Amino acid sequence: MLWVKAFHILFVTSWFAGLFYLPRIFVNLAEETHPQALQRLLGMAQRLYRFMTPLAVLAIALGLWLFMGYGLGRGQGWMHAKLGVVILLVAYHLYCGRLLKAFERGIQRHGSRYYRWFNEIPVILLLAVLILVVVRP
């Protein structure tokens, strides 16, 4: 089970790296006006999203394996809260995909300021997960 835990941490960390960087690319896409630069940024965002989606699936699958194998937190409030935060992270990930599709169609839904604030959401969610797992309030 320690191998599962180690790989779970690896995939969660990698997924979060994508969740931190993709909205930053959105900021640049919202500010960029040069067509070649827009295409380059869009390509970066598409590749990153395609890369981070399997990482998310693996992180969640291994997390469920740990949950089923260890029974960690079963029936405890901190685990229910953590699973709620994971659901929010999945929703955030999927919303990033919707925003990416809008950029692909040339639709500018928001300005760069919105994406700068949007970029802070995974930091807050990561902090919540860490507190719930380590402190177990």
pTM: 0.93
> What would the pLDDT profile of 55-113 be if each residue is shown by its tens digit?
999 999 999 998 887 766 566 888 889 999 999 999 999 999 999 999 999 988 899 99
Amino acid in position 54? P
Let me know: does 16 contact 93? Beta carbons within 8 Å.
no
Provide the annotated binding site. Answer: 8, 82
Q: Which residues contact 99 (CB under 8 A, 6 or more apart)?
A: 26, 109
Q: How far apart (Å, rounded) are the C-alpha atoms in residues 85 and 54?
A: 19
Q: Which residues contact 123 (CB under 8 A, 6 or more apart)?
A: 20
Q: Give the model's confidence band at 51: pLDDT under 50 very low, under 70 low, under 90 confident, else very high.
A: very high
Provide the annotated binding site for heme. Answer: 8, 82
